[in-house]
Amino acid sequence: MRILSLGFPLPGPAIDNHTLATAPTFFDYGAIIVDPRALSQLIEEVVDGSTEHETRAGELIVNASDSPNAISLAQLLRDRQDETARLLARGGLVVCFAYPNVIHNPVADLPDCDRYFWLPAPPGLGYREPFVRRGFGAQLGPAEIEHPFTPFVAQVGSRLAYQAYFADDAPGFAEVGRVFARSAGGAAVGVDLCLDRGRAVFLPPPARPLSGDQRYEFSSGLQGAIGRALDASVPSKGGTAAEPGNAGSSVLSGKETNHG
């Protein structure tokens, strides 16, 4: 199983660390880990011109139309949106640290761009208020014994701090979603959504930067959770159950590298 981590470098030979700009095609992986704040920072840097970013092919990313040596930011984001949809369609897994949404203006030719533009949402739900709400707290714990990410939350929960929570009473959530972690006050801070034949798992981010040893422990625990989610038969809601193990086993084999 190959894992792509975007904006959140993790140690381990099975993980390729990249940015939104430099990453290979998403659907060539069984799972991707995403730090949306890092994605937002890259978008803002391209828009304001403060930092130059290039694709893996060496194309400059610009907040303008495509040219022979440059790709528009809007096109890059649309490409990543399509790649994420294809990953989910083949039973893949998206692991996303949950942050409140923000709007990115002005992205040329993409007026509706926000922090979660790249990630499909369940029908009737969007990654904004009132479904995704701003909040903050460090008291949280597992809410479902059998979920693949429950051992990970139990292991590292003391190092996490939620910055957003989900309205699990929203219309339509019960058909597509599961809550596997809650705050001390009962807010849904760890959520699993069925998307096509795949899934998106939202986790609270670390409360503070991880030390070297903590990052190894975090990476090991997260890889274990991803492996269980892809390989185990977990009941789905509101649709045909995916065969997540296929997402890991069907990824093209090759030498595993850690870019970061």
* Distance from chain centroid for Cα 93: 9
Sort strands 198-203 and 188-195 into parallel, antiparallel or unpaired. Answer: antiparallel
Does residue 248 register a pLDDT over 70?
Answer: no
Please answer whether residues 131 and 165 qualify as being in contact, where contact means their C-beta atoms are separated by less than 8 angstroms. no
> Does residue 254 sit within a domain?
no
Kindly state the average pLDDT of the residues 90-94. Answer: 97
> Does residue 255 sit within a domain?
no
| pLDDT band (50, 70, 90) for residue 1 | confident
Mean pLDDT across the chain, nearest whole number? 90
> Does residue 187 sit within a domain?
yes
Token output for 157: 């929960």
Does residue 31 register a pLDDT over 90?
Answer: yes
Find where tokens 């890259």 sit. 42
Q: Which helix (H) or strand (E) holds 259?
A: none
Token output for 62: 């610009």
User: Which residue range is the domain that position 163 belongs to?
Assistant: 3-249
> Does residue 257 sit within a domain?
no
**256 residue type, one letter:** E
Alpha-carbon span 160 to 59, nearest angstrom: 36
> Does residue 240 sit within a domain?
yes
User: pLDDT value at position 231?
Assistant: 85
Q: Report pLDDT digits (tens) over 137-157.
A: 999 999 999 999 999 999 999
- Of 143, 141, 217, residue with least CA distance to 178: 143
Q: Report pLDDT digits (tens) over 51-60.
A: 999 999 999 9
> Does residue 242 sit within a domain?
yes
Alpha-carbon span 55 to 52, nearest angstrom: 10
Residue 172 C-beta-side C-alpha neighbours within 13 Å: 10
For residue 169, how many other CB atoms are within 10 A of its CB? 9
> Does residue 259 sit within a domain?
no
Find where tokens 């840097």 sit. 45
> Does residue 161 sit within a domain?
yes
Does residue 15 register a pLDDT over 70?
Answer: yes
User: pLDDT value at position 234?
Assistant: 44
How many residues in the chain? 260
Q: What is the CA radius of gyration of the chain?
A: 18
Residue 48 C-beta-side C-alpha neighbours within 13 Å: 9
Q: What's the domain count of the chain? A: 1
Q: What pTM, to 2 d.p., does this model score?
A: 0.88
Alpha-carbon span 35 to 12, nearest angstrom: 18
Q: Give the SS3 label for residue 188.
A: strand
| pLDDT band (50, 70, 90) for residue 233 | very low
Please answer whether residues 94 and 27 qualify as being in contact, where contact means their C-beta atoms are separated by less than 8 angstroms. no
